[in-house]
Amino acid sequence: MERDRDRDFLKLYLRLFPIYIGVFMVMLDASILNVALPRIAEDFNAKTSDVQWIQTSYTLTLVSLYMIAARIGDMVPREKYYISGMLVFTFGSYLCAQSWNIASFIFSRVLQAIGGAIMTGNSLAIMAEAFPPGKRGTVMGINAILIASSFSIGPLLGGWLTTNLSWHWVFYINVPIGIFASLLGFAILPRLGGRLKEKIDFVGAILLTVATASLTLGIIKGQDWGWMNEKTLACFIISIPYFFAFALRELSVQNPLLDIYLFRIRNFTVAILGISITFLGMASSLFILPFYLQGIKGLSAQEAGYWMFSIPIVNTFVAPIAGRLSDKINPKYMMSLSPIFFSLGLYSLSFLDANTSYWEFFARTALLGVGMGLMMSPAMNVIMSSIPPTKAGMANGVIQTINSLSQTLGVAIGGVLLTESMKSLIPGYGNQLPDPGTIMMVKMLALQFPYALYMIDAFMEGIQSVLKITMFIPLATLFIIVAFLSGKEHMRAIQHASGRYNGFS
């Protein structure tokens, strides 16, 4: 009997294969394009600031639409809705490759992100609905693998495609994969969602869209505009009343886009905080490391991707195990170990120098992979087990929105810390991030001019300083989890829900 049940779950894991493909494509496209942007700017004869909007528009659209895309998924057949999102994403990818100017490129990226928001805004809800409580840990581990892998594989794949084919293939590659996954989804995805018959709070959706878009834009462009620039401050100031108005709206409307009272569920809120702080620390540190690899080590973007490969490799082993264990034992143990490994990894990386070998770097970054794996899948399992099944899409939207904001904020924090460190070490240094290519040129000049060597030392010291500061970010997660997470409550929720789980059609 137990063997037959395990075989049924294996079949279900395979039936969700289109979901895995979609999540990976969306997350990959958030990072794969960075390497290709200089080539795109050259082909379109455009300024770097204009080309950056190709990436910014994608991020803004995703963050702005996560909640409404997730909420709609609670009201319609979720598997068909997900496939429609994949088709929109695939069509947007094709249009990106066919773009004839920057404006058409930005429009195509927005279309791509709309499809991406539908997919990622519903992926966790699909996994939670398809698998009964007590069996979700492994599938949450697979989801964590996809997210972690996309960060490292994106630049690597983007660099290879741009170098050996052209930047167009960064998008063309999505077309056959998206068509295949859509057809596969129609054929094998189980019937999911469509349980609620409620009106969508479009007023709340507009308020949240303006708030999140303004905040995200301010964070993304703050480094370029200046953090005290009137445009940056305007973005932050605009977001505040809209967030406040959204909260008031959701507390008073009959069918809210976001049930604010979800945050009164202790494990839901604690796990959300745990994941978001992990994303913040991860983004701030992973943002800094390419400056070291391409600047100090002189690697290409593609080679730098190989050096970062230990994170997804280690996470691939740790995340499923941690997820599976979170169905069996108190998840507080693993989630408490996560920030310790993460902080140790950042501390060991703070001793990097120009002579660090590949395997030394591999071992140090592997600690980050362990930390991510121990946090992501157990925390997502805790979140989805702590809420009513009818709120699965809503919770999915909250996770994606907060994580995206945390990741964006983490990149900004990493950039600010590195810039401020350089300013303190080099008299007269401006407010711009050092360019890895420029650092390479300075290294060559250092053979003749001692001052250039001083700049290289300052750059290396700046990176080490940032890593020593960011190592304390995950420790905030440790305090929150130890003090507030109730592992016993999670286990009771699994046992209670398992008893009333009736499967799906």
Can you give the residue ranges of every domain in the chain? 2-200+257-500, 201-256
Q: What is the pTM of this model?
A: 0.80
Give the separation between CA 418 and CA 436, rounded to whole angstroms.
Answer: 13
Choice among 195-199, 234-238, 443-447 with the minimum mean pLDDT:
443-447
Give the separation between CA 265 and CA 501, rounded to whole angstroms.
Answer: 21
Choice among 63-72, 76-85, 141-150, 162-171 with the minimum mean pLDDT:
141-150
- The pLDDT mean for the chain works out to 80
| pLDDT band for position 40 (cuts 50, 70, 90) | confident
136 Cβ neighbours under 8 A, 6+ residues apart:
127, 128, 323, 327, 381, 384, 385
b/e sequence 424-437, b meaning 16+ C-beta within 10 Å: ebbeebeeebbebe
The string of pLDDT tens digits covering residues 15-30 is: 778 888 888 888 887 7
Q: Which of 201, 216, 203 is nearest to 64 (CA)?
A: 216
Q: Does the pLDDT of residue 392 top 50, yes or no?
A: yes
| pLDDT band for position 453 (cuts 50, 70, 90) | low
| Architecture category of domain 2-200+257-500 in CATH | Up-down Bundle (1.20)
Give the separation between CA 37 and CA 55, rounded to whole angstroms.
Answer: 9
How far is CA 380 from each of CA 137, 342, 485, rounded to the nearest angstrom? 8, 18, 13
The string of pLDDT tens digits covering residues 288-315 is: 787 788 777 877 767 777 888 888 888 8
Give the separation between CA 451 and CA 299, rounded to whole angstroms.
Answer: 23
Q: Residue type for 348, please?
A: S
179 Cβ neighbours under 8 A, 6+ residues apart:
90
Give the separation between CA 218 and CA 227, rounded to whole angstroms.
Answer: 8
Q: Can you read off the two tokens belonging to residue 58?
A: 């994608």
Q: Which of 88, 157, 126, 26 is nearest to 395 (CA)?
A: 126
- The 3-state secondary structure of 14-38, one letter per residue: HHCHHHHHHHHHHHHCCCCCHHHHH
DSSP state of 173: T
The string of pLDDT tens digits covering residues 141-155 is: 777 777 777 766 777
Q: Can you read off the two tokens belonging to residue 433?
A: 């991030």
Mean pLDDT of 333-338: 89
Give the separation between CA 100 and CA 85, rounded to whole angstroms.
Answer: 24
Mean pLDDT of 375-380: 85
The maximal CA–CA distance of the chain, rounded, in angstroms, is 75
SS3 for 193?
A: strand
Q: Does the pLDDT of residue 126 top 50, yes or no?
A: yes
Element (H, E) at 166: none
- Residue 77: beta bridge partners? 193
Q: Which of 398, 439, 449, 385 is nearest to 129 (CA)?
A: 385
Burial class for 447, CB neighbours closer than 10 Å (0-12, 13-18, 19+): exposed
DSSP state of 191: P
Q: Does the pLDDT of residue 451 top 70, yes or no?
A: no
Q: Can you read off the two tokens belonging to residue 413?
A: 């924090």
Give the separation between CA 18 and CA 38, rounded to whole angstroms.
Answer: 32
Locate tokens 């967030």: which residue? 243
| pLDDT band for position 500 (cuts 50, 70, 90) | very low
Mean pLDDT of 86-111: 91
Is the Cα torsion angle 311, 316, 321, 323 positive or negative in sign?
positive
Q: Does the pLDDT of residue 80 top 80, yes or no?
A: yes
Out of 170-174, 409-413, 484-488, give the one with best mean pLDDT.
170-174
Mean pLDDT of 50-77: 82
The string of pLDDT tens digits covering residues 337-353 is: 999 999 999 999 989 88
418 Cβ neighbours under 8 A, 6+ residues apart:
288, 291, 433, 434, 462, 463, 466
DSSP state of 77: B
DSSP state of 261: G
Locate tokens 């080679």: which residue? 303
For helices 331-349 and 450-470, angle between their N-to-C axes, nearest 10 degrees = 170
Give the separation between CA 451 and CA 405, rounded to whole angstroms.
Answer: 39
- Residue 193: beta bridge partners? 77
Mean pLDDT of 445-463: 69
Mean pLDDT of 398-421: 81
